[in-house]
Structure 1
Amino acid sequence: MSSLAIHRSSEVAATAAAGEPRRVSVEIADAARLAILRAQWTDLLGRAATPNVFMDPALVGVAAGIEPDARHRALLAWKTVNGREMLVGVWSFTVGRPRRSMLLAQMIIVPAYVHGYLSTPVIDRDCLDDTLDAMLDSIAFERGLPKIITLDMMDTGDTTYQALLRVLTSRGSAPCLFDQTRRPKLASELDGKAYLEKALSSSTRKKLRQHRRKLSEKGTLVSTVVTEPEAVRRAVEEFLAMEMSGWKGSNGTALACNEGEAAFMRGAMAKLAEQDNAAVHSIHLDGKPVSMQLVARAGGAAFTWKTAYDEAFQDFSPGMLLLEDYTAAFLANKSIGLVDSCSYDDTGYMSAWQERREVADLWIDARRGGSLEFRALSGLQKTYRDARATAKAVYLQWQKSRKSK
């Protein structure tokens, strides 16, 4: 068994730094261990400060099956309540080189896979500080793990992030923030009709009605939602083919261009569908999809994970037509309190949603007091990313000036 075998942090350090008994224990679990914790995960989602489907243990299992040599793991935090152990935290990760970096050092990477869009751990809202402190100690004491944690797209506007800042301060450390942005989310008490009337201008709504009417003149136009596992499986295959046929396929960025990424999406949506946590929204014309949206669920949160449309119909704004449909469907579903767009920023057609989620890329040090290693490597990374951002801005400005001539 590897050095990353399941263990309790209390076996490594039975007391906190101040010498007090640890109230939360943490284990580092592999995919086999996670596979038997479905009921505990579902129960935790009902108590979570921030539900996050990208921490779902099932997805860790899918990723581990596709990349058996990668170290896909999760921190599981437990607390004894009324004589029984209760799962109070899950933070999945892998170990490797940091993304978007020139550095070769091994670090803890969150989210654990490329197509994860939120790194916030799922933690019981009633014990955020204790759980985060115990999780960081479990990494700090584990000899087989790096001590620098890279967090891509962490929610910086929620209570979990505020708790992380408090914990880091108490440990004598501080995060290193890189990119910070805002992306669309849907969180409203309005119904679909009222929301879209408020979010879209009258001229935009009129144009979309015209697009829908003209598209329906070409055949039978139907908006569908599938959630049954076999129907989801078929829809994912249609999605992969549609995405591959467009510009992403030409650029080599479609999921189907990479066998591992396509296998991950198939496996992830299949596992989520088995738990009634996946859906595919589509607009079909004469039985063929025109636009599609893959949706994942975690408790009261939904995530519009991946979208694609048939570019032969791009003049009809098929993505916006579908957004109208699933916006109304989400707002009609009282079990959904928030929908995360999973966008990189607040540009694009999903910016029609009025609410925003604040996210940032950041690195943190699991060691108490920080370290020279962290300060040096995070400083290099910040310099590198700032230089890339400057170069990109200069390039875009150059392109703009060329077009204006």
Structure 2
Amino acid sequence: MALDRLPRGAQGRAVMSHLPASGSFQPDASHAWPMSDAAQPVVRILRHTDLTADDRAQWAALSALAGAANIFVQDWFMDAALSHAPDGADVLLAVVAPIDGPWLGVMPLIAAPRFGRWPVRIWRNWSATNQFLGTPLVIAQSADLFWKSLFAFLDQRAGGEIMLHVAGLDADDPVSIALFDRCERERRAFHTIHCHERPAYRAGKEGEGRGDAKMRSRLRSLSKRLEQDHGPVTIDILAPDAPCTAWIDAFLDLEASGWKGRGGSALASDGATQALFCEVIERGHANGSARLATLSVGGRAIAMSSWFEAAIWGHGFKMAFDEDYRAYAPGQLLMRDIRDRIGVRPGMSFDSCVPRGAGHCHRLWGSNRKIVDGAVAIGSPWQHVQFDALMKARAAYAAIKARFPDRPAT
């Protein structure tokens, strides 16, 4: 489904659902809540720290079946994210599965007392820093049943929450399409909060080519000049059986030496963020999904990059470069090599995971991936009315800000 097929209500008109609400819920297995048909799945609300060995086995099996399009929600990545995030203990895992059956889908949720500037209680899907895609881990063939079950559960068990905020969805993923379609069939209000595009490569897309020819010509010239000025240029991918600790340490040092280090936004500037980076690189390298690249000149590393690959999608992760060599665009030189490696992988698409306006990255990839944030009405009919009022208030405030952009906030 393209964005123009978002359910009615996405552009401002609320569409009501009429399921009743009851009390709020707490995270434990006793809140496994069956649908009216006993053959339907149940929704369980679990904490990460309370998962049993069987739960973890189910999570891993689900990741193997459904994790190809979003590596950030696979069990090994999400487990590390929840372990290191300051708010990880507050996250609840909403699991949809038949009684004593395999997991069909799981979505991390966290309660929030505000939605931006608005003091309303909501649920939102949770992602840690540096998890760049929020599409939940759901078997595509079961996606409609997942959303149907989750919405019915939230309607029945919501306390004061009036909405589910779903952020960072791939608009063209089957799981997201099932969300849009389910809202439309239930006449449940869905509002698009934000939408943007990220540079990407899409396997098999006609005309994808090799990106911008002028950009590639410029990079060839820069590579030649770099070699003439400083010596042989090499690009190495860390071997799967080689230890990755030295690569991790070198990357952290390289990133901290630049503007991120000076501004306090480098990985090494925050203990939890650094720990998450180290763990997911180590786990990804061990399970074969991480790729760790280094561009060197004269034996000196001047750009390093990491990305992850699953069966059908690769995702950019972290890159750093030596600012002493900025004039040669070493980061872009390394990105060009990554683009070429992805381009010869049959069936492999790639999400750069960087904003479209970030440098000239988009000129290498030639396509894009639409990312959408949305708000879904949940709860009782009265809570749907409150949701509609909130969306109208947001729209009115945005219109005032657009008309009077320099007016001080009050």
TM range (shorter): 0.7 to 0.9
CA contact (8 A) 1:60 1:92 kept: no
After superposition, the Cα gap between the structure-2 partners of 1:272 and 1:111, relative to the gap in structure 1 and judged at 3 Å, is farther
Aligned to 1:222: 234
CA distance in 1, matches of 2:204, 2:264: 40
Confirm whether residue 30 of structure 1 aligns to residue 43 of structure 2. no
Aligned counterpart for 1:269 among listed residues 273, 281, 287: 281
Matches within 5 A, 1:5-404: 5-7=28-30, 9-10=32-33, 13-15=34-36, 20-21=37-38, 23-32=40-49, 33=51, 40-41=58-59, 43-45=61-63, 47-48=65-66, 51-66=69-84, 67=86, 70-79=89-98, 85-96=101-112, 101-142=116-157, 146=161, 148-189=163-204, 195-196=209-210, 199-201=211-213, 203-217=214-228, 218-226=230-238, 228=240, 231-334=243-346, 337-345=348-356, 348-351=359-362, 352-367=364-379, 369=381, 371-382=384-395
Letter in 1 for 2:180: L
Q: Which moved more, 1:313-322 or 1:105-114?
A: 105-114
CA distance in 2, matches of 1:230, 1:103: 50
3-state SS of paired residue (2:332): helix
CA distance in 1, matches of 2:180, 2:200: 24
Aligned to 2:26: 3
1:26-85 per-residue CA deviation (whole Å, 9 max, x = no partner) reads 3223224277656544543565397212222233322332236631232222248xxx72
After superposition, the Cα gap between the structure-2 partners of 1:296 and 1:204, relative to the gap in structure 1 and judged at 3 Å, is closer
After superposition, the Cα gap between the structure-2 partners of 1:380 and 1:298, relative to the gap in structure 1 and judged at 3 Å, is farther
After TM superposition, give the deviation of residue 321 of structure 1 in Å. Answer: 0.9
After TM superposition, give the deviation of residue 200 of structure 1 in Å. Answer: 2.2
After superposition, the Cα gap between the structure-2 partners of 1:210 and 1:56, relative to the gap in structure 1 and judged at 3 Å, is same
Report the TM-score, using the length of structure 2 for normalisation: 0.79
Aligned to 2:15: none
After superposition, the Cα gap between the structure-2 partners of 1:251 and 1:278, relative to the gap in structure 1 and judged at 3 Å, is same
Q: Which moved more, 1:284-293 or 1:229-238?
A: 229-238
3-state SS of paired residue (1:117): coil
After superposition, the Cα gap between the structure-2 partners of 1:200 and 1:47, relative to the gap in structure 1 and judged at 3 Å, is same
After TM superposition, give the deviation of residue 97 of structure 1 in Å. Answer: 5.4
After superposition, the Cα gap between the structure-2 partners of 1:45 and 1:293, relative to the gap in structure 1 and judged at 3 Å, is same
1:194-246 per-residue CA deviation (whole Å, 9 max, x = no partner) reads 932xx222x43332122212223313422122264874343233222222222
After TM superposition, give the deviation of residue 115 of structure 1 in Å. Answer: 2.1
Report the TM-score, using the length of structure 1 for normalisation: 0.80
After superposition, the Cα gap between the structure-2 partners of 1:48 and 1:179, relative to the gap in structure 1 and judged at 3 Å, is same
CA distance in 1, matches of 2:177, 2:145: 13
CA distance in 1, matches of 2:122, 2:327: 45
CA distance in 1, matches of 2:159, 2:246: 41
CA contact (8 A) 1:97 1:105 kept: yes
After TM superposition, give the deviation of residue 142 of structure 1 in Å. Answer: 4.1
CA distance in 2, matches of 1:346, 1:281: 24
CA distance in 2, matches of 1:145, 1:47: 35
3-state SS of paired residue (2:76): helix
After superposition, the Cα gap between the structure-2 partners of 1:162 and 1:235, relative to the gap in structure 1 and judged at 3 Å, is same
After TM superposition, give the deviation of residue 180 of structure 1 in Å. Answer: 1.4
3-state SS of paired residue (2:278): helix
1:98-150 per-residue CA deviation (whole Å, 9 max, x = no partner) reads 67x22454533324213222221222222221111112233334468945222
3-state SS of paired residue (2:66): coil
Listed as ranges, the gaps of 5+ residues in structure 2 are 1-24
CA distance in 1, matches of 2:310, 2:399: 34
Q: Percent identity?
A: 19
Letter in 2 for 1:57: D
3-state SS of paired residue (1:75): strand
CA distance in 1, matches of 2:273, 2:402: 27
Listed as ranges, the gaps of 5+ residues in structure 1 are 396-405
Q: CA RMSD in A?
A: 3.3
Letter in 1 for 2:266: A
After superposition, the Cα gap between the structure-2 partners of 1:70 and 1:189, relative to the gap in structure 1 and judged at 3 Å, is same
CA contact (8 A) 2:307 2:317 kept: yes
3-state SS of paired residue (1:195): coil
Aligned residues: 376
3-state SS of paired residue (1:85): coil
CA contact (8 A) 1:227 1:278 kept: no
CA contact (8 A) 2:67 2:74 kept: no
After superposition, the Cα gap between the structure-2 partners of 1:383 and 1:277, relative to the gap in structure 1 and judged at 3 Å, is farther
CA distance in 2, matches of 1:159, 1:89: 13
